[in-house]
Each structure stands twice: as C-alpha cells, then as structure tokens.
Amino acid sequence: MIIAVDGPTASGKGTIARALAAHYGLPHLDTGLLYRAVGRQVQLNGGDANNPDDALAATTFDESLLGDPELRSEAAGGLASRVSAHPAVRSALFERQRTFATQQGGAVLDGRDIGTVIAPEAEVKLFVTASVDARSQRRYREMQERGEDVTLETIAEDLRRRDERDRTRPAAPLVPAPDACIIDTSALGRDEAIAAAIEVVDQISGS
C-alpha cells in the first residue's frame, strides 16, 4: 500500500506521515528533506538557489547531508522552496522518490507532489492543510524550542510567500490530487490529526 501525504509547510503532514508509517509498519520518506538538502548544498557551494544551474548541480549532494540538523531550520525550508521551483531539480530527484514509493510492500511518502506526480497510483492520498495562522503558531513554537530568534509575523509572512511560490510554480505545483482526502488540522491537536488520518486510511484500505 502506498500512502501519499501532501500539504503545505507546517500543516502537520510530516507528523501524520511518520505516525501512519509506524501504525501500518511501512517505511517512510520525507521528500521535503531531499529538497532541503539540495538547497543547503547550493548554500555550501556558494551558489544561488534561484539559479537553475546552481540548483541542479546541488542535486548530487552526499547522502550524509541528510543528517545535517541545519536542514530543519527555517532558512533551509526557504531554500528548499526556491530550488524545488526548477523543473530540472524535480526531474533529478524524481527517480529516487519513485523507487522508494514503489518498493515491495508499500511505503508512506510526504511532500507536495506525491499524489499528483511521484505516486499518482497511490491507494491512499491525503492532502493535509491548515490556516496560515495555525501553521505560523506551530512553527513559532518549534523555533522557540530550538532557541531560534524570530517573530510570529516574520514566520507568517514567510509561509505566505512559500505557499504562493509552491502553488504557482509551473513544475508540480502544490495542489491536492483530484481523489485526495482533505484533512484540515487548523483546529486539531497532534493525536486528533493522526486519528483522523488513520480513520481515512482504514476506510479506503478496508482495514
């Protein structure tokens, strides 16, 4: 069974995807981490994330970079959104994601184009969303816990810019698959959101 979990930044899709993988005993891939690694590599190379050649060159990053804690930073998220707008970058990372999705026994993948591009044949497609206010509050708490100095207003504005960039890019824009189940987590706690996702998966899979 392939479970595709898409949605914007800080919607809760990663938390839900990890919980679904644990619940159903499936391997999990956070595809956003791949794009964060590309963005980080561009930075390490001294390049420009808006330059398609610099971004494509960074897709050959060493696997060890995926363990870099800097990838979880707000800056890395912004770089990921910028490099992901380049079609050549998406093509370069497609096969890696596709291979993971189609492995024997199934998998859970979360990102922005899993149900529309990477695994359109997925048995279960979830699109996890939430208001900008709810998402910025969550991201603000996360960053405070990490000791990062940032304002709530700055985070909210960054999320709006990222949403606009992700939704309007010509290559694999952030949109729900036509047959995706929408889960709005704006008013849901962590456990409630996970329970809602499990209920949807069970209904679709007949578990």
Q: Which whole-number Å values give the CA distances from 69 to 35, 66, 73, 159, in the listed order?
A: 14, 8, 8, 21
pLDDT under 50 in the chain at which residues? none
Q: What is the pLDDT of residue 207?
A: 62
**Beta strands, E only, the chain:** 2-6, 28-30, 107-111, 124-129, 181-184
Q: What is the pLDDT of residue 206?
A: 80
**Tokens linked to 204:** 């679709």
DSSP 63: G
Query: What domain count does the chain have?
Result: 1
Q: Decide if 15 is inside a domain.
A: yes
Q: Decide if 90 is inside a domain.
A: yes
Q: What is the pLDDT of residue 64?
A: 93
Q: Decide if 207 is inside a domain.
A: no
All residues at 6 or more sequence positions from 199 whose CB lies less than 8 Å from its CB, including other chains: none
Domain that holds residue 131: 2-202
- CATH value at residue 75: 3.40.50.300
Q: What is the pLDDT of residue 144?
A: 87
Tell me the residue length of the chain: 207
Q: What is the pLDDT of residue 169?
A: 83
Q: Decide if 39 is inside a domain.
A: yes
